[in-house]
C-alpha cells in the first residue's frame, strides 16, 4: 500500500539524521530538515514558541550554548527557510493536515534528540561499515530517535498520499529533548494536544524483538530530574575553619538523607544522587556543591512524595549550614495507563500485519521513564484516548550503548501499523 521504495527512503532519512546527532533543544539541523520534508508533503506547520511554552522548557541549555550550536547547524545543512523559529532552541514541530470535517483528531508523537555519547569506532559497528556513523564527536543517536523521525516522515508520506480517503485531522508532533524527560511538558502546556481525540506515542526496541509489537506499554515510572546546588562561604580550613559555611558537608548530609527516604507502601520508588561535585581546594572550606539527582515512582503520586521529601531534606541541610540553595527541575515525567480501547485498535493492526509474529495488548515491563506521558495525561483528561506502543527490533547493543543499532527493516512495519491505525481509528470513531 506504500510506494515500493519507502523502505529505502526510510533508511536514507534515518542515516542522514544519524550522521548529525543533536542534543535536546538543539535539534536545529534535524528539525529544519523534518520541517522541510513535511512542508513538501503539504502539511501545515507550527514551529518553535508557537508549540512550546517557554516557562515549561525544563533543562534547556544556556543561551550561549544555543547560539553556538546554531552556527554549527547552519554550517552543517540546516534548512535556512525553517531555521528562524528554531534558532533560540525551541525546536518542536506540529505538522497538521485537515480532511473532511466530522472525523477525529489523531496525533502521533516522535522524538528527535540524540545523546552525549561517543559512537563506537569499531569497524564492525554497522554504521561504520555502511559509512553513516555520527559526524559529531561525543554525540550519537544511541536510542533510536533517528529511526523514530524516519517512521514519522514515512507516516507523513502515507498520509499525504491517502489524504482524499481520510477524515478529521491528523497532527504529527516532533518533540525535542525527550532524553532526560524534558521537552514534552512544554508542548503540552502550549496546548498542542488540547484538541486531540486519539494520541499515539511509540518507541522502537526497548527489548521487544523484531516483528514483535506491544500495543500499550504501562511500565513507565514517573520521574523527576533535579539539579540541586548549595552555596556557602569559603574560608581557609587551617586558619579560620569556623568562618566557613560548608556546602560540601550539607551536600553529604542531604545525599545520605535523600537515599534514606522511606519506601512507599503503594509501590516502587527510586532515588539516586548520581553525581556530587563540591569544593575548590584541599585547604578551603567548600563554598559550593552540586548534586545531580533523580527520583522515580510507580505512580506520579509516589514520585511526587519522593520529590517533596527531597525538597524538605535539601532545605533542612541548607538550614543546618546556613547556606543558599537551589533546586531546579530539569526533567519530569508521569506514569501512564494506556487507554485499552485505543491499544486494542493498535493490537489488531499488528495482529493483522503479515510480518508480525507476536503482538501484546498491554505490558507492565518497566521501561524507564518517558515524558510522552504528559501528552497522554492531557488527552485522557480531556476525554480522549492515548496509548504508547513499542515496535520491536533487534538491537546490536542496548539503548544508550556506544554500539547501539537497530534492524532498519523494523521501520517499514512500524509505518504500516501506524498507517493502518489511522484507518481503524476513523472507522471506530464514526461507528
In the complex, minimum distance from the CB of residue 261 to a second copy, in angstroms, rounded to a whole number: 8
Cα–Cα distances (Å) from 145 to 141, 149, 207, 235, in that order, read: 7, 6, 15, 48
**How far apart (Å, rounded) are the C-alpha atoms in residues 259 and 282?**
27
User: Least distance to a second copy from the beta carbon of 214, Å?
Assistant: 17
Q: How far is the CB of 42 from a second copy (least distance, A)?
A: 40
Out of 66, 218, 269, 360, which residue is the one contacting a second copy (CB under 8 A)? Answer: 269
Q: Which of 366, 401, 408, 424 binds a second copy (CB under 8 A)?
A: 366
Q: Which stretch binds a second copy (CB under 8 A): 33-41, 76-84, 239-247, 414-422?
A: 239-247
Minimum distance, C-beta of residue 202 to a second copy, in the bound complex (Å)? 21
Does residue number 270 form part of the binding site for a second copy (CB under 8 A)?
yes
The residue within the footprint of a second copy, chosen from 180, 183, 216, 384 (CB under 8 A), is 180
| Binding segment (CB under 8 A) for a second copy, from list 31-39, 145-153, 248-256, 383-391 | 248-256
d(CA 199, CA 7): 25
Residue 138 interacts with a second copy (CB under 8 A): yes or no:
no
Give the Cα separation of 402 and 399 in Å (integer).
9
By CB under 8 A, is residue 317 in contact with a second copy?
A: yes
Nearer to a second copy, 194 or 322 (CB): 322
- Interatomic CA distance for residues 380 and 364, integer angstroms: 19
Which of 66, 186, 211, 246 touches a second copy (CB under 8 A)? Answer: 246
When asked if residue 327 is in the footprint of a second copy (CB under 8 A), the reply is: no
User: Would you count residue 251 as binding a second copy (CB under 8 A)?
Assistant: yes
Q: Does 181 bind a second copy (CB under 8 A)?
A: no
Residue 320 near a second copy by CB under 8 A: yes
| Count of residues touching a second copy (by CB under 8 A) | 65
Taking CB under 8 A as the rule, does residue 318 contact a second copy?
A: yes
Closest approach of a second copy to the CB of residue 267, in Å: 8
Q: Judged by CB under 8 A, does residue 279 bind a second copy?
A: yes
Cβ at position 184, least distance to a second copy in Å: 18
Nearer of residues 348 and 366 to a second copy, judged by Cβ: 366
Asked if residue 423 binds a second copy (CB under 8 A), the reply is no
Among 1, 316, 364, 397, binds a second copy (CB under 8 A): 316
Tell me, letter by letter, the H, E, C secondary structure of the chain: CCCCCHHHHHHHHHHHHHHCCCCCCCCHHHHHHHHHHHHHCCCEEEEHHHCCCHHHCCCCCCHHHHHHHHHHHHHCCCCHHHHHHHCCCCCCEEEEEECEEEEEEEEEEEECCCECCCCCCCCCCHHHHHCCCCCCCCCECCCCHHHHHHHHHHHHHHHHHHHHHCEEEEEEEEECCCCCCCCHHHHHHCCCCCCCCEEEEEEECCCCCCCEEECCECCCCEEEEEEEEEECECCECCCCHHHCECHHHHHHHHHHHHHCCCCCCCCCEEEEEEEEEECCCCCECCCEEEEEEEEEECCHHHHHHHHHHHHHHHHHHHHHHCCEEEEEEEEEECCCCCCHHHHHHHHHHHHCCCCCCEEECCECCCCCCCCHHHHHHHHHHCCCEEEEEEECCCCCCCCCCCCCCCCCCHHHHHHHHHHHHHHHHHHHHHC
Name the residue nearer to a second copy (CB basis): 77 or 116.
116
Q: Provide, rounded to whole angstroms, the least separation between the CB of residue 374 and a second copy.
A: 18
**Which CB, 160 or 292, lies closer to a second copy?**
292
Q: Which spans of this chain sit near a second copy (rule: CB under 8 A)? A: 180, 221, 223, 225, 237-244, 246, 248-249, 251-253, 255-257, 259-260, 262-266, 268-270, 272-286, 289, 292-294, 296, 305, 312-313, 315-322, 366, 368-369
Amino acid at each position: 500500500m506504500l510506494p515500493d521504495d519507502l523502505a529505502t527512503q526510510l533508511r536514507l532519512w534515518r542515516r542522514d539524521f544519524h550522521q548529525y546527532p543533536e542534543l535536546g533543544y538543539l535539534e536545529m539541523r534535524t528539525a529544519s530538515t523534518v520541517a522541510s520534508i513535511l512542508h513538501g508533503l503539504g502539511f501545515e506547520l507550527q514551529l518553535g514558541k508557537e508549540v512550546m511554552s517557554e516557562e515549561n522548557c525544563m533543562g534547556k541549555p544556556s543561551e550561549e550554548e544555543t547560539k553556538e550550536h546554531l552556527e554549527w547547524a547552519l554550517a552543517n545543512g540546516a534548512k535556512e527557510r525553517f531555521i528562524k523559529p528554531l534558532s533560540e532552541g525551541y525546536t518542536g514541530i506540529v505538522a497538521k493536515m485537515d480532511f473532511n470535517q466530522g472525523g477525529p483528531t489523531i496525533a502521533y508523537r516522535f522524538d528527535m534528540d540524540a545523546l552525549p555519547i561517543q559512537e563506537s569506532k569499531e569497524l564492525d559497528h554497522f554504521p561504520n561499515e555502511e559509512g553513516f556513523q555520527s559526524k559529531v564527536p561525543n554525540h550519537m543517536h544511541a536510542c533510536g530517535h533517528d529511526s523514530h523521525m524516519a517512521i514519522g516522515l514515512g507516516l507523513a508520506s502515507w498520509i499525504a498520499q491517502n489524504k482524499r480517503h481520510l477524515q478529521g485531522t491528523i497532527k504529527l508532533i516532533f518533540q525535542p529533548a525527550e532524553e532526560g524527560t524534558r521537552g514534552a511538558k512544554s508542548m503540552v502546556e502550549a496546548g498542542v494536544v488540547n484538541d486531540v481525540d486519539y494520541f499515539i506515542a511509540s518507541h522502537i526496541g526497548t527489548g521487544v524483538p523484531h516483528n514483535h509489537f506491544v500495543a500499550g506499554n504501562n511500565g513507565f515510572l514517573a520521574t523527576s530530574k533535579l539539579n540541586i546546588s548549595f552555596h556557602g562561604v569559603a574560608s581557609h580550613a587551617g586558619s579560620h575553619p569556623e568562618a566557613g559555611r560548608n556546602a560540601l558537608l550539607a551536600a553529604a548530609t542531604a545525599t545520605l538523607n535523600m537515599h534514606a527516604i522511606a519506601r512507599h507502601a503503594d509501590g516502587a520508588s527510586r532515588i539516586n544522587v548520581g553525581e556530587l561535585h563540591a569544593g575548590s581546594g584541599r585547604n578551603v572550606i567548600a563554598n559550593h556543591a552540586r548534586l545531580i539527582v533523580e527520583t522515580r515512582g510507580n505512580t506520579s503520586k509516589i514520585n511526587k512524595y519522593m520529590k517533596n521529601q527531597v525538597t524538605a531534606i535539601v532545605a533542612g541541610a541548607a538550614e543546618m549550614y546556613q547556606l543558599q540553595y537551589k533546586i531546579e527541575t530539569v526533567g519530569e515525567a508521569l506514569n501512564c495507563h494506556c487507554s485499552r480501547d485505543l491499544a486494542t485498535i493498535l493490537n489488531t493492526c499488528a495482529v493483522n500485519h503479515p510480518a508480525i509474529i507476536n503482538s501484546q495488548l498491554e505490558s507492565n515491563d518497566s521501561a524507564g521513564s518517558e515524558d510522552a506521558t504528559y501528552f497522554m495525561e492531557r488527552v485522557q483528561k480531556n476525554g480522549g484516548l492515548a496509548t504508547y506502543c513499542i515496535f520491536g527490533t533487534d538491537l546490536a547493543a542496548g539503548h544508550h550503548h556506544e554500539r547501539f543499532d537497530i534492524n532498519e527493516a523494523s521501520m517499514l512495519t512500524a509505518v504500516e501499523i501506524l498507517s493502518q491505525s489511522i484507518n481503524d481509528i476513523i472507522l471506530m470513531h464514526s461507528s
